[in-house]
Amino acid sequence: MELKTILYVDDNPLDIELTLEAIKENHILNPIIVANDGLEALEYLASNGVYKNRKPGNPSMVLLDLKMPRMDGLEFLAIVKKDENFKRIPIIMLTSSQEKNDLIKSYNLGINAYVVKPLNFLALINIIKQIIIFWTLINELPPE
């Protein structure tokens, strides 16, 4: 069985490293594509730029940070949710912001879940495990 791809969008290298560690801790073997901001994530989805020759198909889910250079999480959401080819991809916000406004805007733009990054690393490991298990194994994906 082919493992489903996860698109992870975050700009902070330390966060990326720790998150990938947390994934590794859970022995999750799904391929993880890391994009450093919204623009790069869009390039991946559309198979443009550096992703010109990638294997076709949408990722099974997107882990998305809010605050990023060039194109932030909300801008990325707005574009993806209007695109006929990408709008059904599950998107899970993974961010440190608990601002009411960020929550409202994100949900208005059609996200599927909103997860606040915990301070405690052990807690992060646990959360990552639950997210990925749910969205790649339990949840039925939309047909492409």
Partner 1 sequence: MNNKFCNPTNNEITQKSIDPEIKGNEEKEKWTAALIIAKELAEEKNTEIIKELNYYRNFFEISLDLFVTIGLDGIIADVNTATENALGLPRKKLIGKEFSTYVIESHKAQAGHQQIIREGAIVDHELNLKHINGTTTPFLFNASLYKDNEGKIIGVFAAGSDITTTRKAEDDLIHLKNNFTQLVKQRAEELIIVNEELAFQNEEKDKRAAELIIADKELAFQSEEKADRAAELIIADRELAFQSEEKADRAAELIIANKELAFQSEEKADRAAELIIANKELAFQNKEKDKRAAELVNANKKLAFQKDKIEEFNNQLEFRVMERTAELESLNKELEAFSYSISHDLKAPLRHIAGYVSLLLKKYGNLFPKEGEHYLDMISFSVENMGELIEGLLHLSRSSRIDMNKRFLNMNEIVDTLIQPVKEQEIDRKIEFKIEPMPLAFGDLEMMRSVWANLIENAVKFTRKKDLTKIVIGATENENEIIYYIKDNGVGFDMNYASKLFTVFQRLHLRKDYEGTGIGLATVQRVITRHGGKIWAESKVGEGATFYFSLINRKESEKTWN
| Residue numbers at the binding site for partner 1 (CB under 8 A) | 12, 14-15, 18, 21, 66-67, 95-100, 117-122, 124
Between β-strands 6-9 and 91-95, what pairing exists: parallel, antiparallel or unpaired? unpaired
Nearer to partner 1, 66 or 91 (CB): 66
CB of 48 to partner 1, least distance (A): 29
Nearer to partner 1, 85 or 130 (CB): 130
CB-CB neighbours of 134 under 10 Å? 14
CB of 67 to partner 1, least distance (A): 6
CB of 17 to partner 1, least distance (A): 8
CB of 119 to partner 1, least distance (A): 4
Nearer to partner 1, 58 or 95 (CB): 95
Angle between helices 38-45 and 73-80 (to 10 degrees): 30
Give the integer Cα–Cα distance in Å for 25 and 20: 8
Nearer to partner 1, 123 or 137 (CB): 123
Nearer to partner 1, 89 or 93 (CB): 93
CB of 144 to partner 1, least distance (A): 34
Residue 81's nearest CA partner among 139, 36, 38, 132 is 38
